[in-house]
């Protein structure tokens, strides 16, 4: 369904402009991933305490990254987040690729869906629900940059 909506959004103008579809695709994937990883303190849905969950995110064009059920933060440690690996996958992807973005932290699913009486954070689902709006915005931005 996402591919059909994506195609419909960019088809009207992008077919005539080399690279336009790819640009909208890559920029939209980048922005939806940033939205998914946005900390609550910056208006997002991801709670960041040690940074372990956020630092465990990986991207791939072959398969969804696998959760390591036994992985978690070391007490007293903090973890830095680096968007570089995700950016490399996005930049290396073809417009026909599926880009998987997921977490390896053992508690990622509990943060997403809630557990032990805690409400779900829904940072993945919340970002995914914004996909079409992000695609529309990126297509509009590209049209403006190209003077269309």
**Predicted local distance difference test score (pLDDT) of residue 19:** 82
| pTM summary value | 0.86
Q: For 8-54, give the DSSP string.
A: HHHHHHHTTSTTHHHHHHHHHHHHHHHHHH-BGGGTSSB--SSSHHH
Taking only the tens of pLDDT, the chain with its 148 residues reads 455 465 555 556 666 777 888 889 999 999 999 999 999 999 999 999 999 999 999 999 999 999 999 999 999 999 999 999 999 999 999 999 999 999 999 999 999 999 999 999 999 999 999 999 999 899 888 888 877 7
């Amino acid at each position: 369904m996402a591919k059909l909506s994506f195609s419909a959004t960019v088809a009207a103008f992008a077919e005539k402009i080399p690279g336009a579809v790819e640009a909208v695709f890559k920029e939209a994937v980048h922005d939806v991933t940033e939205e998914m990883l946005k900390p609550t303190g910056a208006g997002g849905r991801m709670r960041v305490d040690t940074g372990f969950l956020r630092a465990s995110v990986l991207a791939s064009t072959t398969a969804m990254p696998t959760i390591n059920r036994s992985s978690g933060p070391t007490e007293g440690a903090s973890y830095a987040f680096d968007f570089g690996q995700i950016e490399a996958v996005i930049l290396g992807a073809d417009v026909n690729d599926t880009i998987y973005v997921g977490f390896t932290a053992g508690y990622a699913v509990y943060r997403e869906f809630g557990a032990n009486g805690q409400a779900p954070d829904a940072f993945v689902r919340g970002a995914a629900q914004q996909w079409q709006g992000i695609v529309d915005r990126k297509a509009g931005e590209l049209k403006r940059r190209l003077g269309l």
